[in-house]
């Protein structure tokens, strides 16, 4: 743990930090400080040392290892209590579903640098190349009825918007129900999966997965994705620390989960309604093989999409997808 603590101290200072100060603050020996710095250097951290001045962090690798995440991560109540970091995995959602069946704890988080089998809604693939995004899932075991989780994906979307704004200085909008949009293109997708006991209908667990495009270039989205996807690097014109973003996501998801358990989710409902770009626009409902033009006028307390049909009737949509005119190349 001293390695992560030393890294946190170095990250928190723009100047040199003396070995003596690190030793006294962390309650470890000077030899342990040197070993921690040496370990960081072997992991790719550029740590400069000066006699009589101490150590200074010059540069850090853009990686999603536990060392970097723990150095960025503050205290949380539940989410992130167990943190699993992978260089490459099939899917962080699939990983946590496997672990959930083995008794993994509430709040367990899986983060991957690369996914080989990332999925979106309705079985679609989600591109998850190495070194480009944050691919993060969290396992939750809330003691609630499954129907209380209808708005969960939307609350997760609002929490991730909070994290992106904190770290990157821009706030995405939300396309109903589970896309984060920046510059008119998809920045992030969210997939929530529940397991319910067959006989009793009781909730066993819920896994929600988030994939955020961070360091992708325009070339990464050439072809069919050119008008569909974007990244924080493209939209802000600067690099964004993936570790800092992942840590902020864990912290904001922890706050959201605490609000869910204590009944304090109104701020997330308000944020979703404020950020939802679908509201007030003409949209196309997509359900199985049918398409229908409607006008989206709001979302209810369970984040169902309130629409007005062509005949003037009102309805609430809870399943299916919508295409929003002007987004993702949809102009019809």
- Can you list the domains of the chain with their CATH numbers? 2-59 (1.10.10.10), 66-275 (3.30.930.10), 282-324 (2.30.30.100)
Indicate the pTM of the whole model.
0.86
266 neighbors 257 (Cβ within 8 angstroms): no
* Element spanning 316, H or E: strand 314-317
Tens digits of residue pLDDT in 300-327: 999 999 999 999 999 999 888 888 876 7
Provide the pLDDT for residue 332: 44
Enumerate long-range contacts of 294-301, CB under 8 Å, 24 or more apart. Answer: 296/176, 296/322, 298/273, 299/154, 299/176, 299/272, 299/273, 301/151, 301/269
Tens digits of residue pLDDT in 186-197: 999 999 999 998
Provide the pLDDT for residue 331: 45
The CA–CA distances, whole Å, from 296 to 122, 158, 284, 323 equal 22, 19, 10, 11
- CA 103, distance to chain mean position in Å, is 23
Gap between the Cα atoms of 250 and 81, Å rounded? 10
- Eight-state DSSP code of residue 167: H
Q: Burial letters for 91-107: b for 16+ Cβ neighbours within 10 Å, e otherwise?
A: bbbbbbbebbeeebebb
Provide the pLDDT for residue 119: 61
Gap between the Cα atoms of 74 and 220, Å rounded? 32
Torsion of CA 146, 270, 83, 209, to 10 degrees: 60
In 127-250, beta strands by DSSP E: 133-140, 173-175, 179-182, 185-196, 203-213
For the chain, which ranges sit under pLDDT 70? Answer: 1, 118-127, 288, 326, 329-332
Token pair listed for 279 = 């509201």
Closest CA to 151 of 302, 318, 321, 261: 302
């Amino acid at each position: 743990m001293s390695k992560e603590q030393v890294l946190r101290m170095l990250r928190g200072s723009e100047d040199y930090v003396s070995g003596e100060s690190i030793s006294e603050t962390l309650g470890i020996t000077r030899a342990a400080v040197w070993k921690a710095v040496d370990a960081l250097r072997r992991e790719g951290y550029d740590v400069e040392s000066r006699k009589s001045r101490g150590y200074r962090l010059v540069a850090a690798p853009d990686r999603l290892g536990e060392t970097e995440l723990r150095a960025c991560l503050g205290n949380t109540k539940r989410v992130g209590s167990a943190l699993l970091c992978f260089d490459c995995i099939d899917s962080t959602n699939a990983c946590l579903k496997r672990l959930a069946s083995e008794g993994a704890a509430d709040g367990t988080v899986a983060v991957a640098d690369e996914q080989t089998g990332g999925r979106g809604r309705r079985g679609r693939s989600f591109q998850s190349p190495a070194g480009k995004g944050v691919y993060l899932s969290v396992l939750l075991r809330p003691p609630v009825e499954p129907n209380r989780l209808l708005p969960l994906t939307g609350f997760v979307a609002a929490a991730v918007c909070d994290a992106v704004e904190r770290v990157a200085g821009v706030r995405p909008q939300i396309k109903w129900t589970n896309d984060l949009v920046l510059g008119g293109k998809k920045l992030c997708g969210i997939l929530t999966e529940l397991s319910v006991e067959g006989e009793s209908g009781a909730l066993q667990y819920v896994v929600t997965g988030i994939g955020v495009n961070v360091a992708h270039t325009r070339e990464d989205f050439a072809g069919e994705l050119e008008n569909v996807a974007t990244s924080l690097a493209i939209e802000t014109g600067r690099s964004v620390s993936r570790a800092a973003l992942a840590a902020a996501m864990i912290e904001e998801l922890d706050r959201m989960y605490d609000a869910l358990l204590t009944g304090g989710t109104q701020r997330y409902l308000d944020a979703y309604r404020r950020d939802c770009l679908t509201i007030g626009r003409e949209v196309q409902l997509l359900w199985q093989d049918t398409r229908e033009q409607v006008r989206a006028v709001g979302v209810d307390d369970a984040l169902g999409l309130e629409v007005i049909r062509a005949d003037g009737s009102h309805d609430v949509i809870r399943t299916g997808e919508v295409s929003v005119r002007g987004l993702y190349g949809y102009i019809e």
